[in-house]
Amino acid sequence: MPTITTTVTSAETCGAVTTVTTTEATPSAPVAVENDLHKLLNDVFADWFAGTLPQTCAKYFSPSYRGLAHCDAIPNSGFKQYDGHAGLLEWLVFLDEEFEWPKFDQTLMSLPNGNVMCVIDYISKGKKTGKVTGELHDIQEISLAADGLIGDWRFNWSNPSAFVEIMQTPMMLVKEAYDLWSVGKLEENAKTVMADDLKILAQADAIPNTGWKEYNGNGAEFSSWLAFLQEFEFPVFTPVFNQLADGRVCVNVTWQLKNKATGSQTGVFEDVHIWTTSGDKITQGKFYMYNQSEMAATLP
């Protein structure tokens, strides 16, 4: 369990500034606070780190609660809006399943509008990937609802790409497959990244009756696809990964193809690969090849 450091800074009407800082190895009784929202937040953080917030959240959060945790860089993930107690519980499950927090320090500051600004200094580790971010600094704004409980919690992500790198997002899953293929280890790790019902749509109408075709299943046919690719070298192969709004992954590839048997090679051109995932597996890859005549010219 990480050490929790809480700093409360308040500006009184006379202009004096008071700062109270506490550091504790494990959650304990909340520090002295200057308004109800500060007290609620200290209790929330203490219960979250103790692992009891799912059981106690109704004490702190209004039924009308909104958790505004959108992150445009990671669409179709747990970074989204959560409504009510049910939404809050879903958010807590997402955080628990995806991340560990080697460091997590929060500073609470009262705002003129009565809300509280929470500055978070933290390091996050992806549980599924084992990857760790550098130190991150985010700002959150929390407000009370009419019933005196927490109403809105707005998250502002300063470095969303850091989460992309440590999470097993569809884009990172597809990138892992390309990385494995580039070092000749995709076949031995196929069960790790590819679904059993995998479909590879690599048809090239200008090159019939060749290995440019459809392959079904994560077994013998997928192995045949990889073996077919072994007939070529790729003097140029530069993929750029983008996650689409619908959850699919678009890979823009700048590449060059050379047939090992004939020595014939294409020029450098750009194609698009579209990948579909489900859970932590790739289910389909579709290859759009726009210069098939040059590809055909490399064949015997």
Tokens of 144: 């009370």
102 has pLDDT over 70? yes
Please provide the DSSP assignment of 57-113 as one string.
Answer: GGGTEEEEEEEE---TTS-SSS-SEEEHHHHHHHHHHHHHHHEEEEEEEEEEEE-TT
Residue 36 pLDDT: 83
Residue 279 pLDDT: 81
Query: Are 155 and 185 in a shared domain?
Result: no
- 197-225 per-position pLDDT tens digit: 999 999 998 888 899 999 999 999 999 99
Note the pTM of the prediction, 2 decimals: 0.61
CB 285 within 8 A of CB 275: yes
- Identity of the amino acid at 73: A
Q: Which spans in the chain are helix H?
A: 36-50, 53-56, 84-98, 160-166, 170-182, 190-193, 220-229, 292-297
Tokens of 211: 């290995």
Q: What's the number of CA atoms in the CB half-sphere (13 Å) around residue 242?
A: 10
Residue 24 pLDDT: 44
Query: Are 121 and 257 in a shared domain?
Result: no
Please provide the DSSP assignment of 251-264 as one string.
Answer: EEEEEEEEETTT--
143 has pLDDT over 70? yes
- Measured distance CA(167)–CA(9) in Å, rounded: 34
Residue 276 pLDDT: 96
What does the pLDDT average to over 78-96? Answer: 95
Q: Provide the percentage of residues in the chain whose pLDDT is more than 90.
A: 73
Query: Are 121 and 11 in a shared domain?
Result: yes
- Measured distance CA(2)–CA(125) in Å, rounded: 13
Q: Which domain covers residue 286, as residue numbers?
A: 170-297
Residue of 83, 107, 78, 72 whose CA lies nearest to 93: 78
Residue 164 pLDDT: 81
Tell me which of 113, 135, 166 is where a domain ends: 166
Tokens of 86: 């049910």
Residue 167 pLDDT: 85
Residue 8 pLDDT: 46
Query: Are 122 and 66 in a shared domain?
Result: yes
CB 66 within 8 A of CB 21: no
Tell me which of 141, 166, 191 is where a domain ends: 166
For residue 159, count CB atoms less than 10 angstroms from its CB and return exposed for 0-12, middle for 13-18, buried for 19 or more.
Answer: middle
Choose between 41 and 25: higher pLDDT: 41
Domain count, the chain: 2
Rounded to 5°, angle at Cα 126 from 108 and 198:
140
Residue 180 pLDDT: 95
Residue 6 pLDDT: 46
191 has pLDDT over 70? yes
Residue 17 pLDDT: 44
103 has pLDDT over 60? yes
Under the banding of pLDDT at 50, 70 and 90, the label for residue 299 is confident
Q: What is the CATH number of the domain that holds 287?
A: 3.10.450.50
10 has pLDDT over 70? no
